[in-house]
Structure 1
Amino acid sequence: MESRELLRSGAASLGVELGDEELERLLIYLGELIKWSRRINLIARDSDPATIIENHFLDSLTLVSLVDRPGLTLLDVGSGAGFPGLVLAAVLPALECTLVEPRKKRVSFLNHIIRTLGLGNVRVVADRVETLAEPAAGPYSFVTSRAVASPELFLPLVERFLRQGSRALVMAAHRERLAEIPTGEGHFRLEQVKEIRLPVSRAPRLVALVSACQGQPAEAS
């Protein structure tokens, strides 16, 4: 199956209808990702387009139903090659995304894709989340990450960004991972778990919505 049809049909199976413009952006992104991955460490170099589409692009699109509303903002921590934040920004122009990535070569790639696709709803911050200046950012509707750390380490790192009404989106492949969310008194509250299967491999994916028990009121915009 060609990449365009795999993207279109795979997204549709997740409840995401991609128009021609969104498809074209993702195909350009895919081509640049493959090209850059020959020179720098973005994804496994032997990955074929179909594997990249399912494991990275469609996996990122599992969040669309949660973030596809006007006025929402997303902080993607350790964005790497742009998953999930840059993919979401490419298909959801109303979603304002901030990508945090400390590695310079990956930052260069992210900025290249943003320029190439002409995206005005996403920016890159070259920093580690531990030292990220809070005023530079936020408040955010959602904070997420695909592979920075286990939930028990990731959530305390981003707790200061989880103001009242904000949620962390914890992405996991196995339910055992969600058991690592620290939900004791004064920590975090597991509000919802969304269960999905990737369209080709049928591999399970879980997205947990998590709030901080001691979330601070959001600042007035």
Structure 2
Amino acid sequence: MARDNQELLIRGARTLGLQLEEEAQEKLSAYFKELCKWRRRVNLIARETPEPQIIENHFLDSLTLVPLLNQPGAHLLDVGTGAGFPGLVLACALPAVRFTLVEPRQKRVSFLRHVIRTLGLEHIEVVQDRIEAHSSQWQGRFTHITSRAVAEPTNFLPLIGPLVTPETRVLLMLANEAPLAGIESLSDGGWQVRAEHHLRLPFSKAPRLLAEIGRVDGT
């Protein structure tokens, strides 16, 4: 990562209230470099996306979850992680948290595993599959579940419902509040909005809503 891009990442993180350790900066820089290299031949992100936009829309947007995960024993499931957003970015910043990334597309999985090997990340696992294949054996395995792009919340929550216990927190990354409207009336029942965190991305000032969703006891 060029010096100006690294400074942009550090400054953006600081604006979000995050102080990135030097090791995290180095890992994120190496990840960014590999992403820019691989996107020329693999459909990871839009090829024409300017580098400062990659930093804000993918890296800094992913880092907004850090305060919600930085706790003992946390284990995040990232469903349909794509090129590693948010799971792989978060793994670079949170070495004490465990991560499981699920992605069905082989080329993206190859990229993820390459980056993980390159960075020496031992607290992250990549599973090439669809989440539906693991709904029974993974129930209660994760403290947190998220996804940036798989589906609208009213579709995503029933999809992961079999994995969720009352102790699990589902972290929804949204651009506005509208998708929250139908959550508590979903046909499978038992969903509740536990907390909402409103913020803006550092440079574009685009609004973001992080919603913590939980199961009601007994459902």
What TM-score do you get using the length of structure 1 for normalisation? 0.93
* Equivalent AA in structure 2 for residue 171 of structure 1: M
SS at match of 1:144: strand
Pick which of 172-181 and 57-66 moved more.
172-181
1:40-189 alignment, distance < 5 Å: 40-132=42-134, 134-135=136-137, 139-183=141-185, 186-189=189-192
Tell me if the contact between 2:102 and 2:128 (Cα under 8 Å) persists in the aligned partners.
Answer: yes
* Equivalent AA in structure 1 for residue 160 of structure 2: V
What TM-score do you get using the length of structure 2 for normalisation? 0.93
Corresponding residue for residue 22 of structure 1 = 24
SS at match of 2:12: helix
Say if 1:13 and 1:133 are closer, same or farther in 2 by CA, change over 3 A.
same
Which one of the candidate residues 26, 30, 40 is aligned to 1:38?
40
Deviation at 1:53, TM superposition (A): 0.4
Cα distance in 1 for partners of 2:27, 2:40 equals 21
Tell me if the contact between 1:99 and 1:122 (Cα under 8 Å) persists in the aligned partners.
Answer: yes
* Equivalent AA in structure 2 for residue 117 of structure 1: L
Q: Which runs of 5+ in 1 are unaligned?
A: 217-221
Q: Which runs of 5+ in 2 are unaligned?
A: none
Tell me if the contact between 1:187 and 1:212 (Cα under 8 Å) persists in the aligned partners.
Answer: yes
Residue-by-residue CA offset, 1:43-85 (whole Å, 9 max, x unaligned): 0100121000000000000100000012110000000000001
Cα distance in 2 for partners of 1:77, 1:181 equals 19
Say if 1:87 and 1:116 are closer, same or farther in 2 by CA, change over 3 A.
same
Tell me if the contact between 2:154 and 2:179 (Cα under 8 Å) persists in the aligned partners.
Answer: no
Say if 1:134 and 1:173 are closer, same or farther in 2 by CA, change over 3 A.
same
Say if 1:104 and 1:138 are closer, same or farther in 2 by CA, change over 3 A.
farther
Say if 1:134 and 1:114 are closer, same or farther in 2 by CA, change over 3 A.
farther
SS at match of 1:57: helix
Cα distance in 2 for partners of 1:90, 1:156 equals 30
Tell me if the contact between 2:140 and 2:168 (Cα under 8 Å) persists in the aligned partners.
Answer: no
Cα distance in 2 for partners of 1:42, 1:180 equals 31
Say if 1:6 and 1:137 are closer, same or farther in 2 by CA, change over 3 A.
farther
Aligned length: 216
Say if 1:30 and 1:63 are closer, same or farther in 2 by CA, change over 3 A.
same
Cα distance in 2 for partners of 1:176, 1:127 equals 30
